[in-house]
Chains A and B, each alone.
Chain A
Amino acid sequence: MRKLIDNDYVTMLSRLIIGLMYIYASFYKIVEPAVFAKSIWYYHIVPGSLINIMALILPWLELLCGLAILIGICYRGAVLWANVLLVVFIIAFASTIARGIDIDCGCFKAGKSATRAAWKTLWFDVAVLLCGLQLWFSRSKRWMLSGH
């Protein structure tokens, strides 16, 4: 198990998955913060006064984390953020399913959709979190600009 976690190629694959996912996810949110603020509003869990500031900062954090993980600069901090954010997304999304709120996650684009997609998104986030945990525990430092 340890060998698999430390494997350079497995680690690189996880970096590609998480890095590209966060970079892609940040684009529409940076370009259209109002639309992303609307997506956050639909969750009904963030206080109104914090929605806009969250809609502004979160996409940049996603973009920087994605780039840092891909390039390998500020790598450990970026992996920490990536995992914390994924846990927050999973809890937030699970809470909407539990409360019967019928929304699209707003992860990659704005909009509403059926609950069928909600479970799919939740499992997708759990799978990505497994990649994130692998990165956290991996000792591989190959193909990184800085060693940590």
Chain B
Amino acid sequence: MTSKAGKKTSVAVGQAILLGLVSVVMALGINSVSPNSIGLVGQYRSLSNSEGPIVPPNAEDGDPQFIDINQAQMEFTLGTATFVDSRDPEEFVCGTIPGSVNIPFEYLPEFDLEQYLDSSLGYVSHDEAIIIFCSGEECDLSLHLGRNLQDLGYTKALIFFGGSREWEQAGLNIQRRQDCGN
């Protein structure tokens, strides 16, 4: 009886190893040719010592979700979100999160706002993640732009209130289009 159970288990383990190996081969093979492929080793920030997202004092119930640097960096690494810099173009060119779209909150048009934002965001789906930021804690342009986007139906508008400063302080790359002496 015991040897029968032991045989059953060893057969199961052998088959499990085979299934595991086939899965590894399929995963690596398909990932190497897939248009949606990802890197084998994810470069994510350590999640330890995370103090959570910075939330401004003027945040209200119903505001878009605030995210911390770890989540912003994860979304950046996976390319699953559009990053939006809400500052003026003069500040944007001096240094921003690489690949960000510049939508200056101060220059939002009074009319056809939806059309303007849809166009600026490249007509991304309204349920895709959009991460809005500005320079850091002293700047709340990201909060206001985030509220606008949420009101227009962008259901995954996220605010990274630490902004480009926290990003740079974490040792992450900054894209500078112009040398502003910083």
Contacts and interface: CB of A to CB of B under 8 A. Distances in A.
Given A49-B42, A52-B40, A78-B19, A60 B78 contact: no
B13 interface: yes
Contact of B31 (A44, A49, A56): A56
Interface residues of B, number: 37
Contact of B43 (A44, A48, A81): A48
B44 A51 contact: yes
A64 B19 contact: yes
Given A41-B44, A57-B24, A74 B18 contact: yes
Nearest to B15: A77
B39 A52 contact: yes
Given A33-B31, A41-B74, A52 B16 contact: no
B30 interface: yes
A38 interface: yes
Contacts of B31: 33, 56
A30 B15 CA distance: 22
Interface string A73-112: 0111111110000000000000000000000000000000
Contact of B74 (A30, A38, A57, A76): A38
A39 to B, nearest CB: 11
Given A32-B36, A76-B12, A77-B14, A56 B27 contact: yes
B30 A51 contact: no
B37 interface: yes
Determine the main DSSP class of A at the interface with B: helix
B19 A65 contact: yes
A44 B47 contact: yes
Interface in B30-71: 30-31, 34, 36-47
A74 B11 CA distance: 9
Contacts of B22: 60, 64
Lowest 6 CB-CB distances: which A-B pairs, in order?
Answer: A77-B15, A48-B44, A76-B12, A77-B16, A52-B42, A60-B23
17 contacts: A33-B37, A33-B38, A35-B80, A37-B78, A38-B75, A44-B47, A51-B44, A56-B40, A57-B24, A64-B22, A68-B19, A77-B12, A77-B15, A80-B16, A81-B19, A81-B20, A148-B8
Interface of B: 8, 11-20, 22-24, 26-28, 30-31, 34, 36-47, 74-75, 78-80
Interface of A: 30-35, 37-38, 41, 44, 48-53, 55-57, 59-61, 64-65, 68, 74-81, 148
Given A52-B41, A78-B19, 12 more contacts: A33-B37, A33-B38, A35-B80, A48-B47, A51-B42, A57-B23, A60-B22, A77-B11, A80-B12, A80-B13, A81-B19, A81-B20
